[in-house]
């Protein structure tokens, strides 16, 4: 394992627009035009809805024995920056994401409280960030949602900038970014024993973590400091003015849009997995509603332990897979085999040289195998959903554009234990 991987083997980071229904899931490396489909919405298109680097998630199993009790703060009387810093000093074992929740504040507020004391506010200029990171060299890219943490070790190269979508298409770091969602940024220095851990951390307008970049022993510190200076904000106040997430942002679309016949017709006409998102928008369906409705020709419910079984079999067979974890501002992808899989309590952990994953299986409500037609034959994904209906994580067999699906992956997906009946409810 690389030096950077060794230093982070027990560390994770802590974060979602409707992340389950965003472009970027369901794909290899691009966003594609809509599939032909005769169905058109019967309603107005305008009504369509669309962590700091902290300890291993498994430590939450023993947190209550290690920490001092932090009382929930009244939302109407938010803690001052001094109170936030004091709470963090008094509770060093609590992950920053969890401490923020206990204090009744966002994670961005927790980080902002240290401005001038280990944190520098930076502008969330995604295009400038991505073009500047290549010179920093080997780093760790962190993307997470509330149930899964995805870490990749590598270099930010093969960058495609854009105001609506930005891409990183490197061999190790593979990202789909939605720059307009990023609202706050910080360069953070944090002492860990004898070491100083440096990271760039970015949040949405509600203060939820979208993406983080952590330096390691092989990183170019001079290039990093130059990038921070270029992005440094004129506003270094230790307070974040934030907007609460709109209730509709994470809500499912009501069950009054397309019929089963509409859905099956459009689904059958897909020629590329990237067309799936546009199909959902046209039909006014959420992803989970669609997989529940379409029927077992295209989607079937699996036992909740199917994800763990997939990990074990893929690791034993050294099968290259694709693993997607995302939130409303960023989707991060691993492509390749997995080797070292370890379960600690409810958490499935992958701790390979260039890929770490921490998946909270206790958050999984439903697991589905989903089949989509393409011009290269159908492809099969495994998708885990939380109780809120949002997708936590998605898997494919590794493939490139123009290639058919791997037979070993298809066999694995089709032989995982199923739940009888049309839904997983």
Q: Are 8 and 356 in contact (CB under 8 A)?
A: yes
Does some domain include residue 339?
yes
Does some domain include residue 423?
no
Same domain, 173 and 40: no
Taking alpha carbons only, the member of 382, 379, 381 closest to residue 308 is 382
DSSP conformational letter for 45 = G
Q: Are 218 and 5 in contact (CB under 8 A)?
A: no
Same domain, 70 and 180: yes
Instruction: Taking residues 86-101, report their average pLDDT.
Output: 92
d(CA 222, CA 228): 10
* Entry pTM: 0.82
- Tracing tokens 């590329």 back to the chain, one arrives at 272
How confident is the model at residue 78, as a pLDDT? 85
Same domain, 393 and 323: yes
Taking alpha carbons only, the member of 326, 424, 317, 319 closest to residue 370 is 424
Does some domain include residue 209?
yes
How confident is the model at residue 19, as a pLDDT? 35
- Of 231, 260, 288, the position where a domain reaches its end is 231
Same domain, 66 and 127: yes
Number of domains in the chain: 2
Three-class SS state of 123: coil
Same domain, 217 and 291: no
- Tracing tokens 């019967």 back to the chain, one arrives at 42
Does some domain include residue 186?
yes
Does some domain include residue 110?
yes
pLDDT digits (tens, 9 = 90+) for 215-260: 999 999 999 999 999 999 999 999 887 666 554 444 455 555 689 9
Same domain, 275 and 323: yes
- Of 231, 257, 276, the position where a domain reaches its end is 231
Three-class SS state of 49: coil
CATH code at 405? 3.40.1570.10
Q: Which residues contact 123 (CB under 8 A, 6 or more apart)?
A: 185, 231, 232, 233
Of all residues in the chain, what percent carry a pLDDT higher than 70? 77
pLDDT digits (tens, 9 = 90+) for 119-177: 999 999 999 999 999 999 999 999 999 999 999 999 999 999 999 999 999 999 999 99
User: Domain span at residue 188?
Assistant: 53-231
**Nearest-5° Cα angle at 251, 123 to 201:** 20
Same domain, 68 and 165: yes
Same domain, 282 and 217: no
Instruction: Taking residues 46-69, report their average pLDDT.
Output: 35
Does some domain include residue 236?
no
Does some domain include residue 10?
no
DSSP conformational letter for 237 = -
Q: Which residue has the higher pLDDT, 44 or 373?
A: 373
Same domain, 39 and 58: no
């Amino acid at each position: 394992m690389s030096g950077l991987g060794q230093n982070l083997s027990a560390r994770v980071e802590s974060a979602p627009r409707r992340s389950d229904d965003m472009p970027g899931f369901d794909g290899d490396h691009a966003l594609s035009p809509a599939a032909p489909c005769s169905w058109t919405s019967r309603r107005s298109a305008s009504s369509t809805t669309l962590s700091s680097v902290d300890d291993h998630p498994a430590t939450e199993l023993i947190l209550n024995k290690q920490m001092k009790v932090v009382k929930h703060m009244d939302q109407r009387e938010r803690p001052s920056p001094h109170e936030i810093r004091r709470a963090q000093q008094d509770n060093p074992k609590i992950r920053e994401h969890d401490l923020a929740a206990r204090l009744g504040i966002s994670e961005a507020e927790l980080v902002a409280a240290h401005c001038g004391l280990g944190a520098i506010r930076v502008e969330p200029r995604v295009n400038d960030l991505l073009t500047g990171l290549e010179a920093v060299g080997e780093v760790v890219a962190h993307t997470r949602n509330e149930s899964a943490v995805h870490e990749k070790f590598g270099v930010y190269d093969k960058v495609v900038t854009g105001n609506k979508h930005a891409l990183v298409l490197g061999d190790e770091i593979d990202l789909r970014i939605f720059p307009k969602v990023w609202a706050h940024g910080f360069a953070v220095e944090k002492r860990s024993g004898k070491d100083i851990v440096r990271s760039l951390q970015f949040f949405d307008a509600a203060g939820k973590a979208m993406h983080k970049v952590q330096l390691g022993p092989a990183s170019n510190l001079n290039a990093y400091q130059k990038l921070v200076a270029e992005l440094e904000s004129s506003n270094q106040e230790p307070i974040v003015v934030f907007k609460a997430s709109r209730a509709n942002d994470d809500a499912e679309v009501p069950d009054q849009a397309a019929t089963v016949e509409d859905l099956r017709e459009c689904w059958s006409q897909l020629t590329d997995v990237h067309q799936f998102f546009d199909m959902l928008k046209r039909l006014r369906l959420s992803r989970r509603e669609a997989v529940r409705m379409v029927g077992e020709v295209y989607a079937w419910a699996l036992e909740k332990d199917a994800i763990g079984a997939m990990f074990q079999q893929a690791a034993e067979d050294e099968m290259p897979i694709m693993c997607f974890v995302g939130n409303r501002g960023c989707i991060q992808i691993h492509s390749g085999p997995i080797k070292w899989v370890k379960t600690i309590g409810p958490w499935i952990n992958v701790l390979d040289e260039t890929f770490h994953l921490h998946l909270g299986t206790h958050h999984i409500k439903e697991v589905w195998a989903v089949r989509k037609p393409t011009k290269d034959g159908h492809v099969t994904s495994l998708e885990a959903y939380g109780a809120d209906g949002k997708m936590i994580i998605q898997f494919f067999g590794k493939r490139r554009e123009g290639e058919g699906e791997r037979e070993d992956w298809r066999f694995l997906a089709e032989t995982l234990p199923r739940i009888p009946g049309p839904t997983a409810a």
